[in-house]
Amino acid sequence: MNSTPLLAPSQTTLLRVFIPFAIGYFFSYLYRVVNAVIAPNLVADLGLGPADLGLLTSTYFLTFAAFQLPLGVLLDRFGSRKAEASLLLFAAVGAFIFATADSVPGLIVGRALIGFGVSSCLMAAFTAFVTWFPRERLPLVNGIQVAVGGLGALTGTTPVEAALQITDWRMVFTLLAVLTLGVAAAIYFVVPERRSEGSGATLKEQVRGIGTVYKSPVFWRIAPWSVTSQATFMAIQTLWAGPWLRDVAGYDRMAMAEGLLLIAAAMVAGFALIGALAARLSRSGIKPLYVSVCGMGSFMVIQGLILLHITSLTLPLWILFGFFGSAGVLNYAILSQSFPANLAGRVNTGLNVMVFVVAFGGQWGIGEIINLWPVLPDGRYAPVSYQAGFGVMLGLQVLSVIWFILAGLRIGHKTVP
């Protein structure tokens, strides 16, 4: 189990830890969602179809996921500060390549480097927080961290759409490249160093720690539902929510961007409020896992209602989609508290690699499913194609709930925080 640091750091030190990592995750999420707004520009400039758009955008998730297990070892061995600062340099290069690309392969390379470069932004923060913050504050601190990332999602909606009225998407990504370099410098020079108790372990021992995580029944009870819930939210919110608002609800570009802004705002509120609720209830003896389960269950109900295409309830349902879609993030803190502190990086990245692999497959897969229906005469994708694509993702969550219940009956509940 985690242990509280022997010497409590000052508030100034905690801010030096929290703020740079929070800014890093802000840009990570901005990169993640920005394609939902610039998608019409990419389609117009390069003639992309839905499958191409899904593959291009989801490449971020693939490279992000591919580095998660090595990242866990790097975080526990070298520390969050050095790992994230170094990787953000690749994100900056990727943003510049994306800004200058004039073909689909060029865009894919840029997007891939961005995903690789920001792959540590959340996990590095979570791992550092385990080292610096008391255990009982982790759900709240993690919630605030992802809420700041949600502000990046907000910035990637209406503000980006407004910027596109002044300049083009290429200049937007050039500016992002420059700002990302600044964030990398801030993390390296501002964040203090504090090594975990496992930082002196050999590389072989640290790799073996990945096996320890993946052999845990507690991990495998929680992971499938957490993975399918978060992956569904990412796949839809970062790309397909925008086209849905356009094609099913009939929104124009500005209304679509405003809708995405509300979804992102609801997500920010969800990250902050659900994390705070879990922290408060835990002091009363109610486990954070119960809060996560209620949140992810509510998220599934909202998805079912969205599948019905009740356009009169479009905004309320999508706002709730954003709010409850954030609930699965609680499971990072829950699982971190189920293992020794020196395994924190590998626990978080062990879960994260699965989330992003499924998000990649889900985002691309939804595009392939939508592509099965012919484009309508007015250029819209068929509404029924969204029902099919989103329905597959909901079905995966239903299966994971069944697994969660059966695994809980087998291993019991006492080992889960």
Q: Residue 182 — very low, low, confident or very high, per pLDDT cuts 50/70/90?
A: very high
Asked if pLDDT for residue 281 goes beyond 60, the answer is yes
Q: What is the model's pLDDT at position 188?
A: 94
Please report how the helices 217-235 and 203-214 are oriented relative to each other, as an axis angle in degrees rounded to 10.
80
pLDDT value at position 200?
A: 53
Average pLDDT over residues 366-372: 93
* Residue 103 scores a pLDDT above 90: no
Decide if pLDDT at 244 tops 50: yes
The confidence score (pLDDT) of residue 104 equals 86
| pLDDT-wise least confident of 69-73, 194-198, 304-308 | 194-198
Overall average pLDDT of the 383-398 stretch: 98
At 203 the pLDDT is 59
The CA distances from residue 180 to 86, 99, 110, 186, 292, in Å, are 11, 14, 14, 10, 32
Amino acid identity of 372?
A: L
**CA pair distance 320, 266, nearest whole angstrom:** 7
- Give the pLDDT mean for 31-38: 86
So what's the pLDDT on residue 339?
82
Phi first, then psi: what are they for 330, rounded to 5°? Answer: -55, -25
Total residue length of the chain: 417
Residues 6+ apart with CB under 8 A from 181: 88, 89, 92
pLDDT of residue 353: 84
* pLDDT class of 257 with cuts at 50, 70, 90: confident
pLDDT (0 to 100) of residue 355? 92
* pLDDT at site 175: 95
Give the range among 98-112, 146-160, 316-330 with minimum mean pLDDT: 146-160
Q: What is the mean pLDDT of residues 62-88?
A: 86
Best CA proximity match to 125, nearest among 113, 142, 137, 140 = 142
Q: Is the pLDDT of residue 196 over 80?
A: no
pLDDT band at 5 (very low <50, low <70, confident <90, very high): very low
Question: What is the model's pLDDT at position 62?
Answer: 86
> Which tokens sit at 173?
């990504």
The share of the chain scoring above pLDDT 70, in percent, equals: 93
pLDDT greater at residue 44 or residue 412:
44
pLDDT for residue 7? 52
Amino acid code (one letter) for 315: L
Q: What is the mean pLDDT of the chain?
A: 87
43-60: average pLDDT:
83
Q: Contact at 8 Å (CB) between 278 and 294?
A: no
Q: What is the mean pLDDT of residues 372-392?
A: 94
**Read out DSSP for 184-227?**
HHHHHHHSPP---TTTTS-HHHHHHHHHHHHT-HHHHHHHHHHH
Could you tell me how far CA 212 lies from the centroid of its own chain? 24
Q: What are phi and psi of 236, to 5 degrees?
A: -85, -50
